[in-house]
Amino acid sequence: MKNNIVILLVLAALMTACGTAKKAALPDTTTTSPTTPTTATADPINAIITTIGDWQTMQTSGNILLSAGSSFSSSIQVRMLRDQAIYISLRPVLGIEVGKLIITADSLYAVDKVHKRYIAEKVSLLTSGIPVTVKEVQDIFLGRPFIIGKGTLGKENKEGMNVTQEGKATSLSPSEHYKGYGYTFTFDKSNRITSLDIVPEGSTTPAYQVKYSDVRSTTTGPIAHDINASANIEKKKMAISLSYKNIEWNGKVKIDMGIPGNYSRMSARDLLSMFSN
């Protein structure tokens, strides 16, 4: 996979795969599942909430391995402004940026510096109308539970979570979810996240799955430094592995939204159509 803008678009599709995992249009309504009583004497939701610290900015370097028919690996830089923007820079050789992906509250930008091309689209192109925002995408890539439309799990929205415990594992599933799929976060005995599974209605096989490992203590709580995500997008299996180095919190973060005037604009829809071939 040598086309940087295709790589960036596949990465964006995986990051927002709550919508692309089940491409058929889903009705904008919710269903409510009965609350499952907790079986432990301590409150497992509160135990998990207490591990979630506050943050405003995040930046780190690391590596990415992306598979979508062929594979691609690169060094990366990741920067986040909480609830506002995600920036991922591809730097495969000598730290030189060859492409960048920016996701904001409502927009998606992918810039291929090698071929001087870019994409500028609404995020809804990849989410099929499901209200997944930059907040939820940030939580996915920080390994934090959330409720779509209600934000990161906290004391103010914990009543919206069902809890099940099996052995030493704790699973959290929002009681309200969009018709067509459910999603579950699983934690180990130390309240460290191990997985996120999104399963279409009527199936037991996740259409979108994230596995978390190398969970380290940070000033903002335990954060997974190895993240492996996979999804079925337009009937094709795609996967991404991210590994972070040391994460810096709450420093100055610059996210360059600029696109040079001599770059040509491409249609993301045209590139997405290749997945159905």
Structural domains for the chain: 4-276 (2.50.20.10)
Positive or negative, the CA dihedral 236, 112, 92, 144 is negative
What are the helix (H) ranges across 67-165? 124-127, 134-140
Tell me what pLDDT residue 39 has. Answer: 41
Q: Kindly state the DSSP code that residue 38 receives in the 8-state scheme.
A: P
Tell me what pLDDT residue 22 has. Answer: 41
Tell me what pLDDT residue 86 has. Answer: 92
Tell me what pLDDT residue 35 has. Answer: 37
Non-local CB neighbours of 88 within 8 Å, separated by 6+ positions: 8, 11, 64, 76, 77, 78, 100, 101, 102
Bridge partners of 38? none
Residue-wise pLDDT tens digits, 13-27? 666 654 444 433 333
Tell me what pLDDT residue 156 has. Answer: 93
Segments of the chain with pLDDT less than 50: 1, 18-41, 274-277
Q: Kindly state the DSSP code that residue 88 receives in the 8-state scheme.
A: E
Which tokens is 117 given?
């091309």
Amino acid at the residue 155: K
State which H helix or E strand residue 47 sits in.
helix 44-49
Question: Of 158, 164, 163, nearest to 146 (Cα)?
Answer: 158
Q: Are 263 and 118 in contact (CB under 8 A)?
A: yes
Tell me what pLDDT residue 167 has. Answer: 86
Residue-wise pLDDT tens digits, 51-109? 999 999 999 999 998 887 777 888 999 999 999 999 999 998 888 888 888 988 888 88
Tell me what pLDDT residue 30 has. Answer: 39
